[in-house]
Structure formats: structure tokens, C-alpha cells
Amino acid sequence: MSTCSRTARSVCLNPDTDSTTESLTGAGQATGSKTSTLTLTPRTENKTMKFTLTAMIAASTLLLPSIDATAATKTSASKSRTQNASAARKDTRKNNRRATVAAVTSSPSSSSKVANPTPTDCDLDNNRWVDVNDIMTLLPLLGSPCNDSDCHGDINKDAQINVNDLMVLIANYGSPAPPSESDLAETVLSGATLMLQHRYVQDASPFHNLGVRNNAVCVSAYGFLVSNTGTPEGMEKVLNHTSDEIADYLRYYANFYGIDTNTDGTVILDIEGHDFSPRMWGRYLDSAHEKYNPEMLDRILDAYILRIQVARDVFPNAKLGLYEITTPHPFGNSQIEGQVRRMRGYEYAAAYGILEGLDFACPVIYMPWGNQDVKHHKIADYTALGIETSRSLLRQDGTPVEIMPMISMTVFNGSSAHHGEVAPLEDVSLQINVMRDLGVEDFLIWNGTENLYNVNDDLYNLDYMVVDRLAELLDYLSNNSVTG
């Protein structure tokens, strides 16, 4: 059975069957969400080969006539040189000198060219992939005048739209194309990054206009071959996977969802499962708890560390963060028994080495309460507790770990009367202001897809987009002062 963690109406891979499913499972720690699955056909691993073949066929429609014309010209020129060898050599030397002068005086500066255009430069239709649509966009532009620095189709920025641009596009064919941040605005939301499950947004420009990045992606547990941990058999299977098995599947997962393994953005390892998630580790150390089993916790931590190492190999340039380090108790009380137990597990894991391969820990402080809940007034305390507990964790050399908090625009708490509802702007603004008062500059806003999550409206409201809610949040933050 596929696990599609914290994602609703999203296509998921099934590590046990190599099929894909559409899951309607609620997000994060939500409970009571309805579920169903729909088997889909997985993307084949020969995608790049097929893409390249398609690209070459499309390009040949342009290049072959040019090759024929060039061959005919060469034949004619050869006959002419045979008849006028001496004169031709003299004319060639003269023409070469003229051509050199013309090139020096009329060519654009070589410094204006892009030495190594990226897939993003080749993504002419902004769909996050270099594909046949980009070729079809470029072909009609070939030979068009290019009179400004932002000339659509001039991929290598040499002030010309020609076959060189087509060759660059073909060389990048089939590659994911992460968005450029050159248009990122400075706003009161600067420092926020929207993070979806498995994927990036289709067009980052509207988010950049709000000051919000989209250079982060959340990789689900099954991307690391973690599923069915609620059964002894499933847990053993997870604990016994090899690094090669995990790496092969993680690369397949990244290819399926279009995640560039060379990304220098943020990759969050959303590794969680029943009796496996970080917030549950403390139970294995509590002799009064039915799950008490320190040896099992060591095995679980070894499984996590192995997956962190694999993630570093698969995403060598990415900034890696681990989900749920920490998750505070929703009461916002550091002395409550459940919070004390959680911290015991987190501190043990830090001493064991769980933080060593990470760039930062990710305190998950999803909105816990709505305005009709008795604990609604605890949102600020809960948020601060998540920040402070994560900052208290130390690496094995005694240095504190950097943090990247994760918040949501939906209430995720099965104990809340508002579970699954869109969180009020005032409450989200309060969390952001609490984080900034504590010196947090960068944070993640999680949502499964580009549609705003709402459990009580068939999971995702297809008419309410995340970008629209972020625009409302920006307006609210700009015009209101919210404190706890």
C-alpha cells in the first residue's frame, strides 16, 4: 500500500509495486481524512532517451535543408576554385582580412554571452522542463532581430537567435528547469519559501512578486523506501534496506517528479511513519511507556542516518533539512509530560549523530488551533517552543544546529475543532512575527500542491490557490501589527 505523506490529491509513487497512486490522505499529523487511491502509469526511466530523440527529429527539420544547401554551395565553390585557383587564393586572403575587421567592429562583446546556459535559460515556456514545447517555441524565432538584452529565444545571450541557441537547447533537453530568482521582490514576506510536496510550482514569477521563493521541495518518506512501519514486517523491511536500494529508488523518485538532483536549493527529508517519526523517538527511552526499547531506537536512528547519507549523495549540492526536528507539543508547555518525552528522544538522537549530515533541522510548527479552540491563545507559546527546542539541540562537536522552521496556512491538529480548515490570516501573521522576534530570518510555508489545502472542502479547494492566499497574507502583514 502506498504512503503519500501529508499530501492530498497528489500523484504518488508506490515503492512496493513501482506503480503510482493518487492519494487523498490529509497532511502532516492530521487525522480523520478520507483516503482513496487510483493506480496510474509511472513515468518510464527512458524518458531522457525519448526526449532526446524527439528533440533531434524536431531539430533535423530545420538543419537538414541547411546541410543540403551548404553541400551544394561547397560543390559549386570547388568547381570555381579549380578554374580560378590563383585568383581565388588572392581573393580569399583579402576577404579574410575584411571579415576579421567586420567581426571586431560589429560583433557583440564576448563578455555578454552566457558561457554555460542552464536548463532554466532553455525553458522558454516556463513549465519547469526543457522539452519539445521549448523547441517549437524557438524554431519560429530563429533569425529574428535581437535588439535588447532580454531577447526571448536568445539562450546563449550573444544578441542573435540562431542555430547555436537550438544546439544549447537540445543539449539540455529533458532536464528539469528550476526557476530563476532574479525577479524576487523585497516585501514583508521576504525570507519565506513556499514548499510543495514532491514538486515545484509551475510558474514561480507570481510568488517572486510577493517576495516568496520556491527553491525548496519536500521529499516524502516513500522516496526513501519508508512505508508500512506500523507492522513488524514493514518496520523490519525499512530497517534492512541497503544504501544502494534507497539511492536507486530516490533517484527514480526525483526523476519521476522532476526534481533536479544537482539543485543547490533546499531539500527537506520528510522521513516519517507510524512508530518511526522523530516525535515518537522518546517513547523508546521511557521505561514507563509500552514502546520502551532503546535498542530499537538505535536501529531506527541508524536507518535515518543511512538515508541522510544517501540523500547527500543523490543531492550533493542541496541544503538538506530533516522534517520534525522538532515538533513541539501543541499546548506550548515545555514541562508537560509529552513534551519532556519528545525532548529526551531528540537529545538522544542528536548525541547519536542524527544532525551530522544535515544543513539544518526543521521544527514543524504547523498551525495547531483555530479561534474556537480552548488553546487558541497558545499559538505564540507553541511557535516559540518549536524554535527554542530545535535551537537547543547540539551537533556532536557541541555546536548548535541551524534551523529552518516549517509553518502552514491550514490548521493541522486532529484535536482541534478547526482541523483541516484554512488558518486565519491573523494567526499565520502571529506565527511569522513570533519567529522574527526570535531572530528567524528564513522559514518554509508547506502546502501539498498549488491549491490551498482544506480538509473540509474535499481536501483541496481547486478554486483557491496558494498564491492568492499568500497575496492576502502579504497585504495583512503590511497593514497590521500582530503580537502574541
**15: buried, middle or exposed (CB in 10 Å: 19+, 13-18, 0-12)?**
buried
pLDDT at 58: 55
> Could you give the percent of the chain with pLDDT greater than 70?
72
Q: Give the model's confidence band at 72: pLDDT under 50 very low, under 70 low, under 90 confident, else very high.
A: very low
- Note the pLDDT tens digit of each residue in 227-261: 999 999 999 999 999 999 999 999 999 999 989 89
Q: Give the model's confidence band at 52: pLDDT under 50 very low, under 70 low, under 90 confident, else very high.
A: low
Q: Average pLDDT for residues 356-372, to the nearest whole number?
A: 96
pLDDT at 468: 94
The domains located in the chain, with CATH, are 50-171 (no CATH), 185-479 (3.20.20.70)
Question: Which residues face 266 on adjacent strands?
Answer: 216, 319
b/e map 35-45, b = 16+ CB within 10 Å: eebeeeeeeee
Local structure of 297: helix, strand or coil: helix
pLDDT at 146: 84
pLDDT at 444: 98
- Name residue, grid cell 531522457: 48
pLDDT at 45 over 50: no
Report the range of poorest mean pLDDT among 67-81, 290-304, 394-408: 67-81
pLDDT at 59: 56
